[in-house]
Amino acid sequence: MAERLLGLYGGTFDPPHRAHAEVARCFLAENPGARLIVMPCFMPPHKTRSEGCAPAEDRLAMARLCFGGLKDTFVSDFELKQGGTSYTFRTVKHLQTENPGEKICLIMGQDNLLIIEKWREYRYLLENFVIFAAVRGDTPLLPEALRLREKYNADIRALRMESFPLSSTDVRRAVREGAPLGGTVCAEVEEYIKSRGLYKDMCAEIPTAEILKYIRLLSNKRLFHTFGVEKAALLLAKNHAPQLDKRLVSAAALLHDCTKEQDEAAQHRTAEEYGVVFDEITEKNFKLQHAVTGAAVAEKRFHLPEAAEAILTHTTAAANMKPLAKILYLADFIDFGRTDEMCISVRKEYFRLLAEDKKSALDRTLLFALDESIKVLREECKTVHPHTLEARTFIKESLACEDINGGNKQ
């Protein structure tokens, strides 16, 4: 006799909406006899929880209102009671102990396949549990699913559902702006949101899942570089700006090349769509245009002005850059996947300077990278952007002041 399937559908559910309910219905319809556990998490590892998001008890209550009418479905408070960061591998081990006669499978949006190798104990999850990846409409499974199947012998199956271009971020934004929800959540959840006054004072968020969806159409080579820059940026932030929200750092890195593969005509269309213009030098230099359009995407589409500011200067730099901008500029150089001579030299210089003086290593490496960039551009008889020259002058003068004041005598 075949084991009964027990689906685990986790998430923040902040709030649970129509697409969430559709995923649950599709799983139960495609797997007769299966049970489903909906698991609101306490703190997700890969998403920022802003002050305006709903408290755990409200998310649990809304999940019970949203999923309560589905047969063979149970909303669990296990992860909420555990507190701290919610890790799937811990939850499935608990469920295996509690439900020994059932075969546990994981239900997730297929965008999670792009980051699943960042999860704790991801090999254990990929090699031991069936994964149902929710796919909207006729959209094919991502190429990432095929790679994970081949590399880990993962059993990844498409869970096809009606196409709902909807996210919890959209719902929260609609509430904040006083727009009608228009059936995006069930009537009971909408009434609960109103009665509790949820999301009215929502702060700016970092929609990591939506960003990953946006960049998934980039080539594998570009994605490899993007994730390499993210890793390098997080390292730099840890060493030099621990006060920065690491998810903001990730967002800036993930979006820094989000329009890089657009041709010149597409760059202009994107600029027009978001109401930005290229300066005279950028207009003539196609390689600089993606910084302007990428920044526009970060600010106008994802409402991340700090990330946008860093993305805007990640190719040219600028005078008086904030820590995030410095970090992104250098991370683009020291990505360990880059093998060109200049990037290797900047990477080596960073770790040499880091060993000498951690406090000044970021700025001194930035000055080194700017010097190298200017030298190469002049050797190739290319125009050096004034912002690059201004950045070099500003950093050089700042470091000179520190040396005079005894910050770093060499």
Region of 63 (left: φ > 0; alpha: ψ -120 to 50; beta: rest) is alpha
- Tens of pLDDT, residues 297-356: 999 898 888 899 999 999 999 999 999 999 999 999 999 999 999 999 999 999 999 999
Return contacts of 358-364, CB within 8 angstroms, 24+ apart.
Answer: 358/239, 358/240, 359/407, 359/408, 360/399, 360/402, 360/407, 360/408, 361/239, 361/240, 362/236, 362/239, 362/240, 362/326, 362/327, 362/330, 363/326, 363/395, 363/398, 363/399, 364/399
pLDDT, residue 396, reads 92
pLDDT exceeds cutoff 50 at 162: yes
pLDDT, residue 205, reads 64
pLDDT exceeds cutoff 60 at 407: no
Distance CA 81, CA 15 (A): 19
pLDDT, residue 350, reads 96
Poorest-pLDDT segment among 57-71, 125-139, 396-410:
396-410
- Tens of pLDDT, residues 17-55: 999 999 999 999 999 999 999 999 988 765 545 545 788
Q: In a 10 Å sphere around its CB, with 0-12 CB exposed, 13-18 middle and 19+ buried, how is residue 398 labelled? A: middle
Per-chain mean pLDDT for the chain: 90
Q: Which domains does the chain have, with CATH numbers?
A: 4-196 (3.40.50.620), 208-404 (1.10.3210.10)
Find the helix or strand (DSSP H, E) in which 131 lies.
strand 130-136
- Tens of pLDDT, residues 202-252: 545 678 888 999 999 999 999 999 999 999 999 999 999 988 888 899 999
